[in-house]
Amino acid sequence: MPPSPPNRPSPRVADNAPAGREATLTRREWLATLGVGGALCLAAVTLGWWTARRRSPPAHEAPATPRELADFALLERSGRAVTREDLRGRFLIVSFLFTSCSLSCRAVNDRMAELQRALAGAEDVRLVSLTVDPRTDTPATLARFAARYHADPNRWWFLTGEKAELYRLIEASFLSRSRELETLIPGGFANLDHLFLVDRTGRVRQAFGGLRADAVRQILAALERLREETQAP
């Protein structure tokens, strides 16, 4: 357990309060202050929050020329052999994991679980999680892990296989890697916490920071744009 903070800041309630002024307020003035102040504040907070949200840039810009999802031969957690052909024609949301992860990367799996809930009934989307530690993450281990996130076997796939094959797919389609990063990020893959959106033609269209609070909202919005794009005449 981390040590408790030695110097917790004490509430600085009265620092900026105009001294003496509040003592002269009647109860009625006080209530009026409460009402007007509260309304103003609520409005301002809402506006501020909304504009801040509107202004915040996308988590990650789309690459100028989208990469193709490389072909692959891997195993799903069910033990079934899977290739790129099995995903053809669907939008994909791709994430990366290793089940030995103890802390922050669990948040990425939480995002995927949120997406699965938000996309209930969407037959045109498949969630795909690729392990970077395949010797540990056998189909059986991935199946146990997937159950913890209530992953639907038909909609959220967990892929493992030969490490060389997995790493080739990840490097060719999604992330760069370096040995210098290997004790900092699993596999040495920069941005391993990112989620990727792949369109129905197999082009990797956009990446999103998986730890960001608004990742799910942004992915759903981007997915909607891609649907409109492919439906346009």
Partner 1 sequence: MKTLPTLLTGGLLLLMTAGCGRAPAPASATAAPDAAGTRSFEARGVVREIAADRRTAVIRHEEIPGYMPKMTMELNVRDPAELAEVSVGDEITFRLHATADTHWIDGIRRVGRAPAVAAAETPLFVPEETPELKPGDPVPDAEFLDEHGRPVRLSDFRGRAVAFTFFFTRCPLPDYCPRMNAHFRDARQLLLSRPDAPTNWQFLCVSFDAAFDQPAVLARYARAYRGDNPDRWLFAAAAPATLARLAPRLDLMVIREAGGFSHNLRTVVLDPAGRIFRQFDGNAWTPAELAEALVAAARESGAPGDAAEVGQR
Establish if 25 lies at the interface with partner 1 (CB under 8 A): yes
Using the rule CB under 8 A, is 213 a contact of partner 1?
yes
Interaction of residue 39 with partner 1, rule CB under 8 A:
no
Pairing of strands 156-160, 125-131: parallel
SS3 83: strand
Is 28 a residue that touches partner 1 (CB under 8 A)? no
How many residues in the shown chain lie near partner 1 by CB under 8 A?
A: 62
Neighbours of 114 (CB within 10 A): 16
Q: Which stretch binds partner 1 (CB under 8 A): 75-83, 136-144, 147-155, 216-224?
A: 136-144
Binds partner 1 (CB under 8 A): choice among 80, 121, 183, 207 = 183
Distance CA 83, CA 75 (A): 9
Sole window of 10-18, 66-74, 150-158, 217-225 interacting with partner 1 (rule: CB under 8 A):
10-18
Alpha-carbon span 204 to 196, nearest angstrom: 7
Establish if 26 lies at the interface with partner 1 (CB under 8 A): no
For residue 127, give every residue at least 6 positions away whose Cβ sits within 8 Å of its Cβ, in sequence order, or none.
92, 93, 95, 112, 115, 116, 119, 151, 155, 156, 157
Cβ distance 166 to 130 under 8 Å?
yes
3-state DSSP call for residue 53? helix
Question: Is 196 in a helix, a strand, or coil?
Answer: strand
Among 179, 231, 232, 233, which residue interacts with partner 1 (rule: CB under 8 A)?
179
Q: Are residues 135 and 173 in contact, defined by beta-carbon separation less than 8 angstroms?
A: no
User: Which range in 41-49, 77-85, 86-94, 112-120 contacts partner 1 by CB under 8 A?
Assistant: 41-49
Q: How many CA atoms lie within 13 A of 69 on its CB side?
A: 26
- The correct pick among 122, 181, 190, 220 for binding partner 1 (CB under 8 A) is 181
- Regarding 62 and contact with partner 1 (CB under 8 A), the answer is no
Q: Is 55 in the site for partner 1 (CB under 8 A)?
A: yes
Residue of 18, 120, 121, 233 interacting with partner 1 (CB under 8 A): 18
Write out the residues near partner 1 by the rule CB under 8 A. Answer: 2, 5, 7-18, 21-23, 25, 30, 33-34, 36-38, 40-41, 44-45, 48-49, 52, 55-57, 98, 100-105, 107, 133, 135-136, 138, 140-141, 163, 179-187, 211-214
